[in-house]
Structure 1
Amino acid sequence: MPDTLIIIFFIGIFAAAMTYLIPVGTFQSKEVHYLVEGVEKTRKVVDPASFTYATDAEGQPLYKQVSLFASGDDVGLLNFPFEGLASGSKFGSAIGIIMFMLVIGGAFGIVMRTGTIDNGILRLIDKTHGNEILFVPAMFFLFSLGGAVFGMGEEAIAFAIIIAPLMVRLGYDSITTVMVTYVATQVGFATSWMNPFSVVIAQGIADVPVLSGAGLRIALWVGFTLFGILFTILYAQKIKKSPEKSYSYQSDMHFRSQSVDIGKTSFGLGYWLVLITIVGVMVWVIWGVLVHSWYIPEIAGQFFTMGLIAGLIGVIFKLNDMTLNDMADAFKEGATVMITPALLVGFAKGIMLLISSADSTEPSVLNSILNSAAGAISSMHDIFAAWCMYLFQSVFNFFVPSGSAQAALTMPLMAPLGDLVGVNRQVSVLAFQLGDGFTNVVIPTSASLMGTLGVCRVDWGNWIRFSWRFMLLLFIFSSIVVIGAQMLGYG
């Protein structure tokens, strides 16, 4: 398989070619109001009846063709990587997530330098006595719950840094790590009954009672989570028996080479203090996300603090003969490890800039694709239309991997469109959820996926070779769910 950067660059060429074939269009925006736990919320969304193609002075459709180079605020084919890397704000993709990755990479670099993780993992393996497989369902369940309750996604990157070496030492591989961390969060994200970043926004925009229909969604969360656990356990057991069958076998050499002799180092007070610091910060971050809606800047600050405290403990207790200069070197080395996944995040964002704009009121190819898809669905039978809505949301997620942004763009179109063809609005929201969440598992434009693969050293091409079976089953099950919900009048 070609390197992930090569694959992304060819996708960029394809996106640029689309600008020569599809004229740009624009929507007008409007504000919608909805209630969340008795509090009125507002959000700017597209007006579904306002789409128009942009035209030139002669009334001909206007094309926003991507050139090789561009200047100013425009994006060209050969400068889309830079534009992607520099785009966004500290609150999101791409620059925010890139800086987040560099900071937590440096912080965990300090933690790893203390030797706490290595010694702790080896002692944990020594104490489990053949029950290692229990880690897989336990972690998958917890990460899936995090995805369902508070939209956990980017946070998986930080946890994967710790869990990847654990999984390899237990006899599994880094792909298992991606499954129990990031993939588990997306299973929860897709089937959530209360996720504030997807179902709550989508239901509010669709004028469906917020948090309604929770019974079916909770059942779906349980069912899909159990399926994910079973799939992962079967894969993990196969790899434990034959490690060379893993698609990440070569790259996992990095984690296998870090093994140290457990008998040489006692797990003393200093190591326990570092471990308590790590666990304490993890719990603190989850509390902050749930109670105070912390996001990238706040979470990055907490992890930096964790690295600082762990480093000072390492210096005071002379863990691995650590000095203050070692702290600085470890931070730089940890951040360096994140350079490759950070580049992937920026390149993926750059692809989106080739065909979209920051505002739906500005002419873009993405607006035209959205409008054409809505027009095609409007003439279908209700059951087939419901399934096509799910299919469309799955494909559209490649272009807009953000759940809240996709809801704001598509639900104002899909909800009234569903009324026209007889698709219940609750089903329209369900199609959005499943399409948005599950395809995050494979799309290279997802910053969280590319970041998690990066820290686990799993090439995206190898990830696709592994995950296509899992995705096929998710697609089949989701299709059955959407069609069944429409046939049974889910509301």
Structure 2
Amino acid sequence: MEKKVKKRRSMPTAYSILLLLIVAIALLSHGIPGVKGASLADVVMAIPSGFLDAIDVCLFILILGGFLGLTGGTGALEAGIAHVVRRFQGREMILIPILMFLFSIGGTTYGMAEETMAFYALITATMIAAGFDAMVGAAVILVGAGVGVLGSTVNPFAVSAAIDAIQGSGRGIVIDQGIILLIGTVLWLICLAAGIWFVMRYAARVRKQGRSILSPAELQASRETYAGAEEVRTEEKSEKDGTITAKEQLTRAQKASLILFAISFLIMVVSLIPWKSFGVTIFERTAWLTGIDLGEWYFQELQAWFLLASILMAVIARIPEREAIDSFVRGAADMIGVVFVIAVSRAISVLMQSTGLDQYVLAYASQTLGDVSPVLFVVTGYVIYLGLSFLIPSTSGLAAVSMPTFGGLAAELGFRPEVMIMIFCAASGLVNLVTPTSAVVMGGLSICRIEWTTWLKFIAGFLAILLVISLVVLSAAIFIL
């Protein structure tokens, strides 16, 4: 008799996980006194409301997808990736710390999060072409930017939002930003070093031993999505063996396309850094394009910029009008799944706010912190913010609703409110590396064709390392400062 082969149970998709969370929160709201029970209408309208709440980032991703599709149609990206891989042949591991350092700077300075969506396709393709897997591409961006956000120094969406919330509470609390800068820098650099070690160790295992954490289905999906990168990798191996000749040099049009591609992303990064808060005034006369100076742009300005860049790309690459439109629409269509994930993720926050469950959790947490020792204050505050960050993944939103209470509580207990701000940043940064309520996590993984459950398995050990580092640094800070 033939043995029956057990069919492997497939893991739930990101959509199923998020929908289950919406239902769970709705049910939970009915069992808590003082919280408005979610009605059927609240649940049904949560996802449309999530779309409206996340419309800026959703439209940005669609337009960006169109730009990437248009650029991909020129063949410049594939040729450019091949050039980078050849340039670093035998030294591909160097790409990982360089890229992670750059992303971490974005995280610590301006809270680089949704903006990283622009890089997933390119970085993942580059990593696959270099002989790694899609997980390395996802980790370089998520961990790189994530440890930067965890160790925020001047991040306006975390540090500035928290300072503003405390000082706007009317308690007369003065915040020393130098202390925040010191603690943030220490956290950032230590966590970055740990992150680089973690990702490079996994990357070496994938490349040397072929041991990927991705399931066969995920490997197949990433190969199909980034087929061009696989071809580059095969070509590089064949060139090394001397079986085929190298591809021809980049054409003049492809070089021009790559230059425009690089400038487009450089402008995006420059436009998001709050230069005026650093006393830098060189961008004060740059409002002629969008009406807003570089350094103060957000998603609406970025949407306009990448639309303009798409038109310029079509002109420079001499793409016929109909072909350019078709490439743009196909590129945007590739991002539809990502947009749906982001909208459903945002629906959870919308439901939390409409029921008042977020405020209930906040009030309960503030009672827990009263009259504790310094170390216990750090640990308890950190644990509370882990929970709050899961429920309210927006760092600026969490700062606005929690910091007036927790910052004042820290001052009343004789602790520095600056340490409480960094407890908030560290805990929020940790959770936003993994929580399925984060549009950044779910959207980024979707682009890389990685399931959330696989990411959780990959990142769990590193989260424990970050937790220990954070608690040690913050406990030392509360005693020393």
Instruction: Answer yes or no: same fold by TM over 0.5.
Output: yes
**CA distance in structure 1 between the aligned counterparts of 2:137 and 2:479, rounded to whole angstroms:** 38
**CA distance in structure 1 between the aligned counterparts of 2:17 and 2:314, rounded to whole angstroms:** 38
Q: CA deviation at 1:450?
A: 2.0
Q: Which amino acid aligns with 1:66?
A: A
- Structure 2 residue 254 is the aligned partner of structure 1 residue 271: yes
3-state SS, counterpart of residue 284 of structure 1: helix
- Structure 2 residue 455 is the aligned partner of structure 1 residue 471: no
Q: CA deviation at 1:165?
A: 0.6
- Structure 2 residue 190 is the aligned partner of structure 1 residue 220: no
- 473 and 392 in structure 1: CA distance in 2 versus 1, 3 angstrom threshold: same
Matching of residues 239-250 of structure 1 within 5 Å? 239-247=206-214, 248-250=218-220
2:93 corresponds to which of 126, 133, 142: 133
Counterpart position of 1:9: 19
**CA distance in structure 2 between the aligned counterparts of 1:12 and 1:423, rounded to whole angstroms:** 37
Counterpart position of 2:325: 328
Q: Which amino acid aligns with 2:89?
A: H
Counterpart position of 1:116: 76
Q: Which amino acid aligns with 2:441?
A: L
Q: Which amino acid aligns with 1:427?
A: V
How many residues align structurally? 428
1:380 corresponds to which of 372, 378, 381: 372
Counterpart position of 2:340: 343
Counterpart position of 1:311: 314
1:172 corresponds to which of 114, 127, 132: 132
- 210 and 174 in structure 1: CA distance in 2 versus 1, 3 angstrom threshold: farther
- 174 and 377 in structure 1: CA distance in 2 versus 1, 3 angstrom threshold: same
**CA distance in structure 1 between the aligned counterparts of 2:84 and 2:153, rounded to whole angstroms:** 35
Aligned CA RMSD, in angstroms, stands at 1.9
Identify which range, 247-256 or 139-148, moves more after superposition.
247-256
Q: Which amino acid aligns with 1:374?
A: S
TM-score norm. by structure 2 comes to 0.84
Contact kept in structure 1, 2:150 and 2:187, CA below 8 Å = no
Q: Which amino acid aligns with 1:15?
A: I
3-state SS, counterpart of residue 245 of structure 1: coil
More strand by share: 1
Counterpart position of 2:304: 301
Q: CA deviation at 1:201?
A: 2.5
- 379 and 332 in structure 1: CA distance in 2 versus 1, 3 angstrom threshold: same
1:149 corresponds to which of 100, 109, 128: 109
3-state SS, counterpart of residue 249 of structure 1: helix
- Structure 2 residue 437 is the aligned partner of structure 1 residue 433: no
Q: Which amino acid aligns with 1:397?
A: S
Counterpart position of 1:455: 447
Matching of residues 88-99 of structure 1 within 5 Å? 88=53, 94-99=54-59
Deviations 1:84-138 (A, max 9, x none): 22x32xxxxx111111111101111101111111111122222322011110000
- Give unpaired runs (5+ residues) of structure 2: 1-10, 167-172, 236-245, 276-294
Q: Which amino acid aligns with 1:472?
A: A
Counterpart position of 1:404: 396
Counterpart position of 1:209: 175
Contact kept in structure 1, 2:69 and 2:331, CA below 8 Å = yes
Q: CA deviation at 1:221?
A: 1.6
Deviations 1:270-304 (A, max 9, x none): 01000110111122222222343111111222222
**CA distance in structure 1 between the aligned counterparts of 2:412 and 2:174, rounded to whole angstroms:** 16
Contact kept in structure 2, 1:204 and 1:210, CA below 8 Å = no
More helix by share: 2
- 424 and 326 in structure 1: CA distance in 2 versus 1, 3 angstrom threshold: same
TM-score norm. by structure 1 comes to 0.83
Deviations 1:177-228 (A, max 9, x none): 2222232112111212211221123234333435221223222221111111
1:355 corresponds to which of 352, 356, 360: 352
- 96 and 210 in structure 1: CA distance in 2 versus 1, 3 angstrom threshold: farther
Deviations 1:415-463 (A, max 9, x none): 1222343432121111111011121111112122222212222221211
- Structure 2 residue 36 is the aligned partner of structure 1 residue 21: no
Contact kept in structure 2, 1:386 and 1:423, CA below 8 Å = no
3-state SS, counterpart of residue 474 of structure 1: helix
**CA distance in structure 2 between the aligned counterparts of 1:126 and 1:419, rounded to whole angstroms:** 56
2:223 corresponds to which of 253, 256, 262: 253
**CA distance in structure 2 between the aligned counterparts of 1:412 and 1:253, rounded to whole angstroms:** 48
Q: CA deviation at 1:81?
A: 2.2
Q: CA deviation at 1:264?
A: 5.0
Q: Which amino acid aligns with 1:251?
A: A
**CA distance in structure 1 between the aligned counterparts of 2:426 and 2:231, rounded to whole angstroms:** 43
**CA distance in structure 2 between the aligned counterparts of 1:443 and 1:99, rounded to whole angstroms:** 23
Contact kept in structure 2, 1:453 and 1:459, CA below 8 Å = yes
3-state SS, counterpart of residue 212 of structure 1: helix
Q: Which amino acid aligns with 2:272?
A: V
